[in-house]
Structure 1
Amino acid sequence: MRGKLKAILIIFILTLLVGLYLYKENSSIGVTFLEIESLRIPTSFDNYRIVQLSDIHDSEFGEDNSKLVNKVKQLSPNAIFITGDFIDGNRYDLEQSLKIIRQLQAVAPFFYVTGNHEISTNDVEFIKGKLDELGVHVLTNESIIIGDEVKIAIGGIDDPLSSSLAEEQYVEEALEKAFEDVPEDMFKMLLSHRPYELDSYVTKRIDLVFSGHAHGGQIRIPGIGALIAPGQGWFPEYTSGIHEKSGTHLVISRGLGNSIIPIRVFNQPEIVVVTLKSLSTE
């Protein structure tokens, strides 16, 4: 009898510890610092700092998202990129996520593209309108050119769920439209929700792409990596960090929120900070 009680106590303690770990893992926010070096980055954009927020899914970190807002303020970004799934189609609460924008409006300009969850609400034009009212640059298969004498382009494409075309075909056509008026020799950045279309980004010669969607694989196995991700299946390749192919750099955020699967394992919610480093001698 004593041995059975001891076993129950051990199981209870282990369950409690696992529960506490999962709560801490899912309610705290990590910050990942990355650098992108390139001869194509103008010297005027050396040390330009971008904060990437992805896959927020209407999550809340502290009252009115105070934990998230304060962390972003401390990072002093030059621009804030939101790479889709700002809201969650299963528990749609736009107002909760808009509080983030309102509190950070004065910190840096926002650039935004849709994810599949915005499209799935069938309310995407309303969402875009509300963001536009708050001064967010809503990029719908288009680019904005920034800078003074020497400029760079920031482009964005809608999530492929917005189209009846095959995904690869849609991405190729959206990229063509987004950068049709951008000079070939200009440094190009792209916001695109889905990371696994890397070949299309390479073909269009995009210098730097920001994506999310994979949630870091949701469950990460130490020493192995991500377990599963939408569009990629088991043990996916594109879930976090920097990937490079033929001169195109792809930055993938593990994201901040959860959707269908309510917890993350070995996969802390993440803010990504990318600093541009110019190798140019102009």
Structure 2
Amino acid sequence: MTEFLSALVSQPFLQMSLLAGLLASLGCGVIGTFVVVKRITFLAGGIAHSVLAGMGAAVYFGFDPLLGALIAAIVSALLIGWIRLNWKTQEDTLIGAIWAMGMAVGLLFIAQTPGYTSSLTSYLFGNILLVPEQDVWFMGILDLVLLLIVGLFYRQFLAVIFDEEFARLRGVPVSFFYLLLLCLIAVTVVLLIHVVGLILVIALLTLPAAIAGHYVHSLGWMMLIATVLGSSFTIGGLAISYSPDLPAGPTIILLAGSAYVISAIFSHYRLKRRARQSLSMPS
């Protein structure tokens, strides 16, 4: 830990990595809470894995993979949202097909790219230590967009997440805000790609919010705690992986996963103890 802290003071690339992790944690704390409460992890997974098509196309045609990822993520979010709203009986199968086809298209583009480097591998598995400055600026802009939209339409999102039918009765355009929520998930996926990679993105999107949900039931508090937890896992994963030269992305996820397991066990026994205490109380 001491070695990591001294390197953090003197190494600009490590400072940039830490900033990227904190920016990604902000997005994952806010949007991950929506994903966990709405129980749409599978939909988020479909969006995340279809992003590879955009990244592969970007590499093949020679433009920024993150821009390709953002375009593919938003297109797949709208497509998955339309399927969910109109094809509910075949929803899982169709989303699974989009998930698989997105990855297949991406792999085909990558295979046809002459002499592609390991840079794409860093997007797949994450390499937070190699985040360039322009990508950090890009992540900051995406965070501002996320916070602005959530702040403007917080009540509408709240209504759509907890009770779609009631929201319709109140005149809320449910389909529009549902699709907008999926687009925000798409943006968050792109934010997290550099930190843990495309393969592990869903874990960091959902685990901090799931842990927060064990202890608080207010959506605002869940977002705040999930953001703090995501930041802690990112900083902790960076610190743990630095000295032994381990991959930072998997280390961050192992830390988050371990914290979730411990939290789930503690929460389970806490609820059981409360139940026993309520039964033993005299009427």
- The bucket for the TM-score relative to the shorter chain is under 0.3
Task: Compute the TM-score of the two structures, normalised by the length of structure 1.
Answer: 0.22
Higher helix fraction (1 or 2): 2
TM-score by length of 2: 0.22
